[in-house]
């Protein structure tokens, strides 16, 4: 400790050398991130994709086996080819079984490692410790990170981000001494990132951005820099191309509604800006925000104008403020694959899509503010202002993490903050049904069907009616499901079971009426006995009524 601290003889101030400052920042980032997200260890699985990834996935629930490993590398289940994600979840099952807390802590551990790697990456490239610390802190503690950390199914996100930042760290190491051994390390890490989630396809473009700033490799290059970049990054571009093709194939769903291209483009423009707004004002964050193909013209024009203004500014000032160009294009490049131009679902916005892109905006803030506003006075303001921002993020992230406690609480918030959210109503109905609250479940399924009739929603309502013992309505729902989707084989099976239960129930009911009628006849209460015998006959068993009429007990 004595070696870490020195006292300046002139100013009588304690000085901490840069190496020790970095060590202290590493510790503070890890401890603060751990503390803010620690409540997730008490959270449950969520009924959005967690069933596919863990709770109802027999391959994952078998742990790490030879068959499971083969499946992980051969399947595109859940619309991705990401074997590293499957292997990670299989390992968790070996360690934690179906205890959700262990999976959440694993996500948190990976998020903390990514934060530390990001700080190390930026501080090593730029030598700016405090600016790098600010970027890492915002990355770690922003409420937009909650979706990735607190959602088990987003293991693919935290894994991909970890390996992506590790790849960039290895790339910087390679640029310091460009030898084949170091290049192979980068390549291997990049492959692991892509096999966790294909959003790592943008990594070669990020490497080029870092070459421009802060590595400034373009200044030392000779000859055709475009050819030099393409040759050096060729292997990474090929990998990105291959994984992009695999992802498009995996996401192909002939049953999914295809939105028109102009709707996808306008949604992409609006989403681009909405993610930007959420970065600066993370209010009313929620899961399952539905794609809309009827966006207001004013919102489209505003979003387009803002993108144009910022883009023109960073291009005009690229020589003087290279970090603004790098930060803006980092955000643009990494957010682009998530905007739904190539459609892969019905959701318009998801907080986890900002995981990697947000780093670019933080770089613009950290370096841009101090670059645009120079002077000792403004720097004295920046330190407390930065601490205040981080403090606000800590409070918001802790609060946001609490909404992910279980499916019902999460979807209550989704239904509260979004309009006409048929997906949220369906999933909340499923959560209610799981806990035996069938009437609440049916209300949610009714709302989902009202908003957007769908075979799955009829099927789920049929199951709820089935569990309530209302077999007639269950059969109606299963029949409607089959009419809408003829390959919905589970509906055929459940309808057959409902028919059987309905018949069995009738048999049991007329047996009960007949038995009680016999008791009434033995008590010489012919009136009540005949009434029960008639009810049994209405249910299909008229033997006792016929006998009673023959004996003169009933007319």
Q: What is the pLDDT of residues 248-302, one digit of tens each?
A: 888 766 555 567 778 888 889 999 999 999 999 998 898 988 766 678 899 999 9
- Interval 209-237 mean pLDDT: 88
Confidence of residue 173 (pLDDT cuts 50, 70, 90): very high
Higher-scoring residue by pLDDT: 19, 492: 492
Residue 211 has pLDDT above 50, yes or no: yes
Closest to 164 in 3D by CA, of 113, 238, 95: 113
pTM recorded for the entire structure: 0.87
Residue 461 sits in a domain whose CATH number is 1.25.40.10
Shared-domain flag, residues 507 and 471: no
Shared-domain flag, residues 368 and 458: no
Domain presence at residue 408: no
Domain presence at residue 187: yes
Spatial neighbors of 123 by CB under 8 A, at least 6 apart, are 22, 129, 132, 133
Q: Which letter does DSSP use for residue 53 in this model?
A: I
pLDDT in tens, 43-67: 999 999 999 999 999 999 999 999 9
> Mean pLDDT: which of 19-28, 94-103, 491-500, 526-535 is highest?
94-103
Shared-domain flag, residues 137 and 60: yes
Shared-domain flag, residues 289 and 425: no
Q: Which residue has the tokens 């600066």?
A: 280
> Residue 2's pLDDT is what?
41
How far apart are alpha carbons 111 and 92 in whole angstroms? 16
Higher-scoring residue by pLDDT: 229, 550: 229
Domain boundary residue, one of 402, 431, 447:
402
Domain boundary residue, one of 402, 433, 468:
402
Domain presence at residue 64: yes
Domain presence at residue 5: no
Query: What is the phi/psi pair of residue 276, to 5°?
Result: -65, -45
Closest to 347 in 3D by CA, of 463, 251, 481, 429: 251
- Interval 511-530 mean pLDDT: 74
Counting DSSP H helices and E strands in the chain, the numbers are 25, 4
Confidence of residue 525 (pLDDT cuts 50, 70, 90): confident
Number of domains within the chain: 3
pLDDT in tens, 327-375: 999 999 999 999 887 766 666 688 999 999 999 999 999 999 887 776 6
> Residue 347's pLDDT is what?
60
Higher-scoring residue by pLDDT: 79, 260: 79
Domain boundary residue, one of 487, 517, 536:
487
How far apart are alpha carbons 105 and 111 in whole angstroms? 10
Shared-domain flag, residues 384 and 462: no
Boundaries of domain holding 467? 419-487
Domain presence at residue 147: yes
Query: What is the phi/psi pair of residue 6, to 5°?
Result: -130, 150
How far apart are alpha carbons 232 and 173 in whole angstroms? 15
Shared-domain flag, residues 146 and 185: yes
Closest to 104 in 3D by CA, of 171, 184, 39, 199: 39
Q: Look over the chain and give the mean of its residue pLDDT values, rounded to a whole number.
A: 89
Shared-domain flag, residues 528 and 465: no
- Interval 14-19 mean pLDDT: 65
Shared-domain flag, residues 355 and 479: no
Confidence of residue 503 (pLDDT cuts 50, 70, 90): low
Shared-domain flag, residues 232 and 183: yes
Residue 72 has pLDDT above 80, yes or no: yes
Shared-domain flag, residues 527 and 475: no
Residue 496 has pLDDT above 90, yes or no: no
Shared-domain flag, residues 94 and 217: yes
Domain presence at residue 493: no
Domain presence at residue 7: no
Tokens of 160: 């991909």
Domain presence at residue 129: yes
Residue 397 has pLDDT above 80, yes or no: yes
Shared-domain flag, residues 428 and 538: no
Exposed e or buried b for every residue in 225-260, given b needs 16+ CB within 10 A?
eeeebeebbebbeebbeebeebbeebbeeeeeeebe
């Amino acid at each position: 400790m004595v070696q870490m601290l020195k006292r300046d003889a002139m100013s009588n101030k304690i000085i901490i050398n840069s190496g020790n400052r970095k060590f202290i920042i590493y510790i503070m980032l890890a401890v603060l991130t751990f503390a803010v997200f620690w409540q997730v260890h008490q959270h449950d699985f969520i009924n959005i994709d967690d069933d596919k990834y863990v709770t109802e996935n027999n391959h994952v629930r078998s742990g790490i086996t030879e068959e499971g490993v083969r499946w992980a590398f051969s399947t595109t289940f859940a619309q991705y080819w990401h074997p590293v994600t499957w292997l990670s979840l299989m390992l968790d099952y070996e360690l934690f079984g179906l205890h959700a807390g262990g999976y959440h802590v694993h996500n948190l551990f990976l998020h903390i490692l990514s934060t530390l790697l990001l700080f190390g990456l930026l501080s090593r490239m730029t030598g700016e410790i405090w600016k790098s610390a600010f970027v890492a802190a915002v990355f770690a503690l922003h409420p937009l990170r909650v979706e990735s950390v607190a959602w088990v199914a987003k293991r693919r996100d935290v894994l991909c981000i970890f390996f992506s930042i590790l790849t960039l760290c290895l790339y910087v190491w390679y640029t310091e001494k460009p030898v084949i051994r170091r290049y192979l390390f980068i390549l291997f890490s990049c492959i692991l990132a892509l096999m966790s989630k294909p959003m790592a396809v943008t990594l070669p473009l990020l490497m080029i951005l870092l070459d421009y700033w802060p590595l400034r490799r373009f200044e030392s290059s000779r000859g055709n820099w475009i050819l030099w970049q393409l040759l050096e990054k060729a292997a990474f571009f090929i990998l990105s191309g291959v994984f992009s093709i695999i992802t498009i194939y995996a996401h192909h769903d002939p049953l999914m509604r295809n939105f028109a291209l102009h709707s996808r483009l306008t949604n992409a423009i609006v989403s681009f800006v909405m993610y930007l707004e959420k970065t600066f004002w993370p209010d009313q964050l929620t899961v399952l925000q539905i794609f809309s193909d009827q966006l207001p013209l004013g919102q489209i024009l505003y979003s387009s104008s803002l993108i144009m203004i910022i883009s023109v500014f960073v291009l005009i000032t690229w020589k003087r403020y290279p970090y603004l160009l790098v930060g803006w294009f980092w955000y643009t490049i990494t957010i682009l694959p998530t905007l739904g131009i190539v459609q892969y679902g019905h959701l318009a916005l998801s907080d986890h899509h900002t995981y990697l892109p947000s780093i670019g905006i933080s770089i613009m803030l950290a370096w841009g503010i101090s670059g645009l506003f120079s002077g000792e006075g403004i720097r004295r303001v920046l330190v407390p202002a930065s601490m205040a921002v981080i403090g606000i993020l800590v409070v918001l992230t802790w609060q946001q993490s609490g909404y992910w406690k279980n499916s019902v609480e999460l979807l209550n918030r989704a239904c509260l903050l979004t309009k006409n959210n048929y997906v949220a109503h369906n999933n909340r109905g499923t959560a209610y049904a799981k806990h035996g609250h069938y009437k609440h479940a049916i209300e949610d399924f009714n709302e989902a069907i009202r908003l957007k009739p769908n075979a799955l929603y009829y099927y789920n309502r049929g199951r709820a009616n089935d569990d309530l013992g209302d077999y007639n309505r269950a059969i109606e729902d299963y029949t409607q499901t089959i009419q809408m989707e003829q390959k919905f084989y589970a509906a055929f099976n459940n309808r057959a079971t409902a028919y059987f239960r309905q018949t069995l129930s009738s048999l049991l009911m007329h047996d009960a009426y007949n038995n009680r009628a016999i008791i009434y006849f033995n008590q010489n209460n012919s009136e009540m006995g005949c009434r029960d015998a008639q009810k049994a006959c209405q249910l299909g068993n008229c033997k006792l009524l016929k006998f009673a009429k023959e004996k003169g007990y009933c007319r």
